[in-house]
Amino acid sequence: MSQITGKALDMDLLSRVLKYVRPYRGRFIFTFMLTIAIAALSPLRPILIQYAFDHYIVTPNPDGLLLMTLLIIGVLLVEAVTYYFYTYSANWLGQSVIKDIRTEIYNHINQLKLQYFDKTAIGTLVTRVVSDIETIADIFSNGILVIFGDILKLVAVVTVMFYVDWQLALIALSTIPILLVATYIFKNGIRSSFQDVRTQVSRLNAFLQEHITGMHIVQVFNREQKEMERFKVINEKHREAHIRSVWYFSIFLPVVEILSATSLGLIVWWGSREVLQGEVTIGHLIAYILYIHMLFRPIRELADKFNTLQMGMVSSERVFRVLDTKDRIEDSGTITRESIDGDIEFKNVWFAYKDEEYVLKNVSFSVKRGESLALVGATGSGKTSIINLLSRFYEFEKGEILVDGESIRNYRKEFLRKNIAVVLQDVFLFSDTIYRNITLGDDSISIETVIQAAKDFGAHDFISQLPGQYEYNVMERGAMLSVGQRQLISFIRAYVHNPTVLVLDEATSSIDTESEDIIQKALVKLMEGRTSIIIAHRLATIQKANKILVLEKGKILEIGTHQQLLENEGHYRTLFELQYN
């Protein structure tokens, strides 16, 4: 995603961006008409000034000059008002379009597989959703419409110049071929530099997001200086990318100024001769001097606007690459009902995170409604993969997973996940209140329900002591709470959502002994009548499970109750003795 290549102006890409204008086509047409109006008004001032010089200054006529002055002021006012509406309308259009694109890309990211986030830097996605999309807005406010308007203005000015005096027009335009060559070279160079700028911005954002989030690790291991050196390298490349784009501007703009001055000098030289010979009037000469300014100013700005368009195209390609990513789990299921019963069965399931490097190999087991299943095994044995497949966070390659006798692919994803609550070892809390972190915005869960659940799990006392109590903001990732407190919040969150299937992934590992006693009692209530899948390394927490599954390298070694597995004197008994001896 970091390397973007493409044409200088990809019309297919531009047409795709313009599709988002359809809901605002009325505003787009209005802005387009204003662009035409601005182009039409541009040659009026030189024409009026020429007429004023020739008829009311060279031959003095104060009354006529006053009238002409008022007319010129009127034209200026009309231009100013037209520019105002154009600027507001173009920016309004741009912001409306990127609002829709940002909504679409965020919704798309929400639907992507977790596997996509495993291999994509979060900072990169933040860049796509925020800064890249903001750059797309410039396509409308400072890009395509401005370019079209400037081109129309150039056409209008050149047409008037040739109509009035074709010889002076040719002299004024004599430097244009050189300018076109310079613009072509500049355009190619600046496109490459802008692609590099966006790449370096993405890398900088990814580095900052990752290292600020993991700042405690950096400081614990005394890596501040080393990481600072890495940051300096990335920041230096970011600076070099921007300087490279500035370098192209620093060459191109003086070239435009020199060519503009050359054209102006030629006009003054040739036009003065014509005036002295009586072939043209002073008004003509002054008008052409103004035309030169009106001609080169849009050309100079065209380069800048074209680069704005280029930057928007580069950002568009990056954003559309994310939108075109098909790394998502298809929601083709149709089954929805009040709830599920909770019967779960894995039949010969094979699963790999990458190609055919299987982490689950021919796994088969079943759990009846209301039963508890414990998963035991070393790190990497496939325990977490099982619960990820059950909630359809990942797709398995072979076999079948059934819930109440139906393939999980036949259920609507939303319905399936609504009936499964997962409590993880690493609890994630949003920068919001305790109440909203528990309800996750579900208005059907009242504050009374939350308070009662907190009392059941022994969390009400510590919450009551916080400023604002249940309205206390836990800040990013729950930084204002201890690890154990965050874990308690996650239990309450699972409880109030009333799931049919409960998944506990090392859920009590961060709880102290005193809190664990409270939790174990509350878990009895939480697990009552629910199908439960428990992952735990501490075997003492799973001895009462109806069934224990022992995994090693993605295969099932043993299955049975705690007592049965001890009597088998197999792998489970070895693990048990290692922990207790």
Work out the angle between the directed axes of helices 513-527 and 483-496 (0-180°, nearest 10): 10
pLDDT the model gives residue 81: 92
Shared domain for 426 and 300, answered yes or no, is no
- The pTM of this model reads 0.68
Per-position DSSP letters for 338-359, written without gaps between them? S-----EEEEEEEEESSTT-EE
Say if residues 316 and 310 touch (Cβ distance below 8 Å).
no
Q: Give the domain-ending residue among 323, 353, 373.
A: 323
Q: Give the domain-ending residue among 323, 358, 378.
A: 323
Written as six digits, the tokens of 227 are 């990481």
> Cβ contacts of residue 163 below 8 Å, gap of 6+?
none
Say if residues 544 and 374 touch (Cβ distance below 8 Å).
no
Say if residues 325 and 208 touch (Cβ distance below 8 Å).
no
Length of the chain: 581
Shared domain for 288 and 368, answered yes or no, is no
Q: How far apart are CA 434 and CA 474, in angstroms?
A: 7
Phi/psi for 20 (5° steps) reads: -75, -5
Shared domain for 243 and 317, answered yes or no, is yes
Range of the domain at 411: 344-580
329 lies in some domain: no
User: Taking CA 105 as the corner, what is the angle to CA 100 and CA 107, rounded to the nearest 5 degrees?
Assistant: 95
Amino acid at 337: R
Shared domain for 354 and 422, answered yes or no, is yes
The CATH number of residue 62's host domain is 1.20.1560.10
How many domains in the chain?
2
The CATH number of residue 399's host domain is 3.40.50.300
Q: How far apart are CA 329 and CA 477, in angstroms?
A: 27
pLDDT the model gives residue 1: 40
2 lies in some domain: no
Phi/psi for 10 (5° steps) reads: -85, 105
**Is residue 324 classed as helix, strand or coil in its secondary structure?**
coil
Say if residues 191 and 241 touch (Cβ distance below 8 Å).
no
- The neighbouring-strand residues paired with 403 are 344, 406
Say if residues 423 and 490 touch (Cβ distance below 8 Å).
yes
> Which of the residues in the chain have pLDDT under 70?
1-10, 143, 187-188, 190-191, 216, 220-221, 300-304, 307, 477, 507-519, 522, 539-540, 579-581
Strand ranges of the sheet holding 372-377, from the earlier edge strand across to the other edge? 420-423, 501-505, 531-535, 372-377, 547-552, 555-560
Phi/psi for 497 (5° steps) reads: -85, -5
Written as six digits, the tokens of 554 are 């993605």
Amino acid at 205: N
pLDDT the model gives residue 581: 62
Instruction: For 372-516, list the strands marked E by DSSP.
Output: 372-377, 398-403, 406-407, 420-423, 501-505
Shared domain for 283 and 353, answered yes or no, is no
The residue among 351, 196, 184 whose CA lies nearest residue 255 is 184
Work out the angle between the directed axes of helices 224-276 and 176-213 (0-180°, nearest 10): 160
Instruction: For 134-265, list the strands marked E by DSSP.
Output: none
Say if residues 1 and 327 touch (Cβ distance below 8 Å).
no
258 lies in some domain: yes
- The neighbouring-strand residues paired with 548 are 374, 560
